[in-house]
A and B are shown apart, each in its own frame.
Chain A
Amino acid sequence: MWFEDFPLNVKITLGSYTFTEENIIAFGTRYDPQPFHVDKEAAMRSPYGGLIASGWHTAAVWMKLMLAYRRARIEAGAEEVQANYVSPGVRELRWLKPVRPGTTLTYTNEPFAKLDWPSRPQYGLIEGRNEARDEAGELYYSFINRVLIVRKASQRS
């Protein structure tokens, strides 16, 4: 998809991911070895009363699901070009509820703004609202993503 092709204010469902004891501990051991992310027993005595996923695990899963969604759309013929997701940053990350083993979160994305990016005029910046909710609709995680996408106009010369 080119910058021009992204529709605004349309919410898409990127996919779902189940957090398990195994993948929570694997991520925590490597990147966030605080007791409540890696050790069941110690987690019981922590303020969370049990094992919870690292917030960075919850965050990284968004990227995984976003790319899988785009790939599936291309394979289905619904999109032509794989847009590279190059981002200058993200905003307003909120870890609202602890993610415990057995929780399945469904991630959504809703682009809401298109902006110029003067330092790289061949790109435009898209900002989107993102949420991760469980089956009951409870919100666990949200943030605003910002991604630079190539403009179709830049390809004409």
Chain B
Amino acid sequence: MSQPELLHFEDFRAGQLFRLGGHTLNANEMIEFASEFDPQPQHTDPEAARHSMLGGLAASGWHMCALAMRMMVDGLFNRATSMGSPGIDEIQWRRPVLVGDRVRLDAEVLDTRPSSRPDRGFVRFRFSMTRDEENRNGELVMMFVCSVMFRRRATS
């Protein structure tokens, strides 16, 4: 099933930069995610969060990952042949993300390599989430390096 309009493994090159969009975090979505998956006061209780190490209601790190995933899908994978990821070497949560912060996500291609399975290849990205704000413009809040599998074009 060839889908020439979608990005395939062969379309990725080391050094490419994809801007995957931005998002402003509100308290409701932070509390909604945290209530189900990370119910700690610094993520669910604005009053208690003011006294926490993070300095205010802050998004769960796992919420930041889920939001990054959503930006990857909306910004890139929905026009590509993504087949998922086998894993991530390291996720760094560098700074807390607080209510009202606007973040954006960029993806830089580090390298590409074909899989031993002929229908797919791996593209290794560095995903950087930065804060888009007057005073802290460009401040890195989260970073991870992740390989994603994409289909190869049929060669016949």
- Please list the residues of chain A having a beta carbon within 8 angstroms of any beta carbon in chain B: 27, 30-34, 36, 45-48, 54-56, 59-61, 63-64, 67, 84-96, 120, 148
Q: Give the dominant DSSP class at B's interface.
A: mixed
Given the interface pairs A56-B66, A63-B37, the reply to whether A89 lies near B91 with Cβ below 8 Å is yes
Which residues does chain A contribute within 8 Å of B83, judged by CB atoms?
Answer: 46-47
B54-90 interface mask toward A, CB cutoff 8 Å, 1 = contact, 0 = none? 1000001110011101100100011000111111111
Given the interface pairs A84-B53, A90-B91, the reply to whether A64 lies near B61 with Cβ below 8 Å is no
Q: Give the dominant DSSP class at A's interface.
A: mixed
> Nearest Cβ distance between residue A125 and chain B, in whole angstroms?
13
CA distance in complex: A95, B89 (Å): 11
B16 at the interface (CB under 8 A from A): no
Contact between A67 and B84, CB atoms less than 8 A apart: no
A60 in complex: contacting residue of B41, B66, B77, B119, CB < 8 Å: B66
With CB as the reference atom, state the residue of chain B lying closest to A45.
B1
> Nearest Cβ distance between residue B130 and chain A, in whole angstroms?
16
Contact between A92 and B89, CB atoms less than 8 A apart: yes
Which residues does chain B contribute within 8 Å of A86, judged by CB atoms?
Answer: 42, 53-54
A88 in complex: contacting residue of B1, B65, B78, B92, CB < 8 Å: B92
B37-51 interface mask toward A, CB cutoff 8 Å, 1 = contact, 0 = none? 111111000000000
Which residues does chain B contribute within 8 Å of A32, judged by CB atoms?
Answer: 66, 69-70, 73
Contact between B91 and A84, CB atoms less than 8 A apart: no
Q: How many residues of B contact A (CB 8 A)?
A: 37
- Please list the residues of chain B having a beta carbon within 8 angstroms of any beta carbon in chain A: 1, 36-42, 52-54, 60-62, 65-67, 69-70, 73, 77-78, 82-94, 119-120
Question: Given contacts A46-B83, A60-B62, A84-B53, could you give 10 more A-B pairs where the C-beta distance is less than 8 Å?
Answer: A31-B66, A32-B69, A47-B120, A54-B69, A60-B38, A67-B39, A86-B42, A87-B61, A91-B91, A95-B85
> Nearest Cβ distance between residue A32 and chain B, in whole angstroms?
5
With CB as the reference atom, state the residue of chain A lying closest to B88.
A93
For A61, A86, A88, A96, which residue has the most chain B Cβ atoms within 10 angstroms? A86
Contact between A84 and B42, CB atoms less than 8 A apart: yes
